[in-house]
Amino acid sequence: MNYKLNTKDASQSKESIWTGLARLLPLMADEWRNIGIAFSAIALTSAMALTSPFIIGHIVDQFIAKGDYPGVFAWSGLLLAVFLVQLASSYTQTRTMGGVGRRILYNLRNAIFTKLQELPVAFFNQNRSGDLISRINNDTDKLNQFFAQALMQFLGNAFLITGAGILLLVLNIKLGAAALVPAVLVLIATQVLSPWVKRASFKSLQTLGGLSGEIQESLANFKVIVAFNRLDYFRQKFAVANEVNYSASVSAGLASNIFLPLYGLAATLGTLIVLGYGIILIDAGDMTTGLLIGFLLYVTNFYNPLRQLASIWSSLQLALAGLDRISEVLALQSDMVVVPSDAVVSDAVMAFENVSFRYPDGKDVLSGINFALERGKTYALIGPTGGGKTTTASLMARLYDPSSGTVRLDGKDIRAYTPEVRAAKIGFILQEPFLFTGTVRDNIIYGNPAYIGRPDAVLMATLESAGLNSLLSRFEGGLDTSVSSSGDAMSLGQKQLIAFIRAALRNPELLILDEATANIDTVTEQLLEDILKRLPPTTTKVIIAHRLNTIDNADAIFFVNAGTVTLAGSMESAVDMLLNGTMQS
């Protein structure tokens, strides 16, 4: 299955803003009531904002022009009332709509994270972690900025524009229509220009992802860069990415900045039309000066929010471009589903039936593998590097599904188990140990419901009875030693020790050790062997190692090479195979 992102070309994202926004609909499911309230408030605010120029116009025409003081004050009181209503409704609107935005963002982040958790390991192997991190951090942030700042203004302004537009037409259809002509022209221009702006924004986000990928890769491996005198190379590669990002960002900036001046132009033209046409109407006696003043205010009320929309428009395009990149992740489906059970009676705890595996790039790793592992026995996988040992082990734990054939766990297709059951049955100590930021304790009980939230005494008792407590002395602060997921403060050997304790504590039925002790000294390793011996007699062990002493006690040895898995009769024959076998590498 191909999970590679970034295959999509920026020019493909031509869909309209509505398609983009429609993607957000499922995330708004619980919000319709709040959206209703917010819309009512927005409508009320806009109505009040539209009423005030009308009142002002009335005051000018009816009272100021006629010198009627009491009228001025009475109607000013009304104006105050309108302003107070507007105060209340605009508070409700900001509060409710802002809340809706926050919650949508919250749901969106949760949705992405859930999706990330659903996707198989292959997804993470096929994509650069720097780009992935940028996609999740920077791109959701663009959406966040839109939700936090622009969404409400967007809706409020849309209301104001609609209301002012309708009022303009109602007050005087001819003058109103004339006033709206520049707006129509500018909206058509927006339709034409938007795809260009969005493409430019998408491109600039893409180059930002590339830039951050470049930086991430270089900084994470800084020691190699220093030790191999490649600082110049780091600078050059960065300079290229920086320059690419610069030109993409300038293009995006030039594209998204076109709207504001354009809308400003429309506003000035709108005013000019009203003024000129209005004066002609007044001269002809079809209009009063007061009405014209009011009309001018409505034109301002129509075009000002439109100009604000223009300034939000670019942030909307950027948010939509970010949403595109997020949607790319959300649209991926894991192909590692749970299939219906097809139980076969079997003594073997683990069996491969005609298993073949091939990477998406087409490289064959395993072909037609058959073997069965008996319960309680210890197996060793040996063979030259690149022969397929890790892949075989990964298939046993369903990190990948075979390209063809069946992997059986306790007689059942491994794909028929729920992840909970499978995880409880199989323990796998990975070649590259990974630690979460926290303490040694956090890491050894990680993902183990039996100890999470229980007192230390329970954990210590188990550690002691399993003989694991002696390993804790390798950490200066014992269980409380702090651990960081990044950084080299802890040695590879120490990380392997934690991974070992973590797996042994889970007491799995099948325990796979993939060069799990490669960087641990042989004295400590003997200790680990003792611990393994104390595991229940039903525990099946699969050990991958280069150091032969590690696999000395194996009941059977499999020689894995060039896509085949062969049973070696004895240790001697295994060594013989290793010496004389055809080498893949």
Partner 1 sequence: MSVQEERKGPSRSGGLLPLLIPYWSWIALLVALTIASNALNLVGPQLIARAIDSVGGADYRLSTLVVEFLTLAAGVFILTYGQSIVQTVAAERVARDLRARLVDTISRQDFAYVQTVTPSRLLTNLTSDVDAVKSFVSQAISSIVSSFFLIIGASILLLLIDWQLALAVLTVVPVIGFSFYYVLSRVRKLFRKSQEAIDWLNKVINESILGSSLIRLLNSQASEYTKFLEANSEAKSIGMSILRMFSTLIPIITFCTNLATLVIVAFGGHLVISGTMTLGDFTAFNSYLGILIFPIIIIGFMSNVVAQASASYERIAKVLVSEAPKPWGNVDVELRGDIAVEHLTVRYGQRDALDDVSLVVKAGTRTAVIGPTAAGKTQLLFAISGLLVPQSGRITVDGRPLTDYDKQSLHRQVGLVFQDSVTFNLSVRENIAFSAIVDDASLAKAVETAELDDFIATLPAGLDTVISERGTSLSGGQKQRIMLARALALNPKVLLLDDFTARVDARTEKKILANVSANYPGITLVSVTQKIGPVEDYDQIVLLMEGKVLAVGTHEELMHSSPEYVQIFSSQQSTEDYELQA
Whether the CA torsion 299, 301, 306, 311 is positive or negative: it is positive
List, in order, residues 6 or more apart from 94 with CB less than 8 Å away.
152
**DSSP state at residue 30:** G
List, in order, residues 6 or more apart from 577 with CB less than 8 Å away.
559, 561, 566, 568
Distance separating alpha carbons of residues 203 and 209, to the nearest angstrom: 10
Nearer to partner 1, 36 or 477 (CB): 477
Distance separating alpha carbons of residues 498 and 500, to the nearest angstrom: 5
Nearer to partner 1, 466 or 527 (CB): 527
Give the dihedral of Cα atoms 204, 210, 214, 215; nearest 10 deg: 50
Least separation in angstroms between CB 130 and partner 1? 8
Least separation in angstroms between CB 122 and partner 1? 9
Least separation in angstroms between CB 460 and partner 1? 21
Smallest CA-to-CA distance from 396 within 375, 418, 415 is with: 415
Least separation in angstroms between CB 472 and partner 1? 13
Nearer to partner 1, 257 or 327 (CB): 257
C-alpha 236 chain-centroid distance: 30
Nearer to partner 1, 372 or 492 (CB): 492
Pinpoint the alpha helices (H) of 257-350: 259-283, 289-330
Least separation in angstroms between CB 38 and partner 1? 11
Nearer to partner 1, 19 or 385 (CB): 385
Least separation in angstroms between CB 585 and partner 1? 5
Nearer to partner 1, 211 or 355 (CB): 211
**Cβ contact 509:481 at 8 Å:** no
Q: Is 584 exposed, middle or buried (CB count within 10 Å of its CB: 0-12, 13-18, 19+)?
A: middle
> Of all helices (H) and strands (E), which one includes residue 246?
helix 231-256
Tokens of residue 264, six digits: 């400003």
**Sole residue written with tokens 């007192």:** 455
Least separation in angstroms between CB 15 and partner 1? 26
Least separation in angstroms between CB 18 and partner 1? 26
Give the CA radius of gyration of the chain: 34
Nearer to partner 1, 118 or 342 (CB): 118
Nearer to partner 1, 121 or 346 (CB): 121
C-alpha 138 chain-centroid distance: 10
For Cα atoms 171, 177, 178, give the angle at the middle one, nearest 5 degrees.
Answer: 115
Nearer to partner 1, 23 or 109 (CB): 109
Nearer to partner 1, 92 or 162 (CB): 92
Say which amino acid occupies 511. L
3-state SS, residue 402: coil
Least separation in angstroms between CB 322 and partner 1? 13
Nearer to partner 1, 14 or 533 (CB): 533
Smallest CA-to-CA distance from 368 within 557, 542, 562 is with: 562
Nearer to partner 1, 257 or 346 (CB): 257
3-state SS, residue 523: helix
> Of all helices (H) and strands (E), which one includes residue 121?
helix 121-126
Distance separating alpha carbons of residues 518 and 492, to the nearest angstrom: 9
Least separation in angstroms between CB 338 and partner 1? 12
3-state SS, residue 567: strand
Least separation in angstroms between CB 547 and partner 1? 7
Least separation in angstroms between CB 345 and partner 1? 26
Smallest CA-to-CA distance from 581 within 372, 371, 566 is with: 566
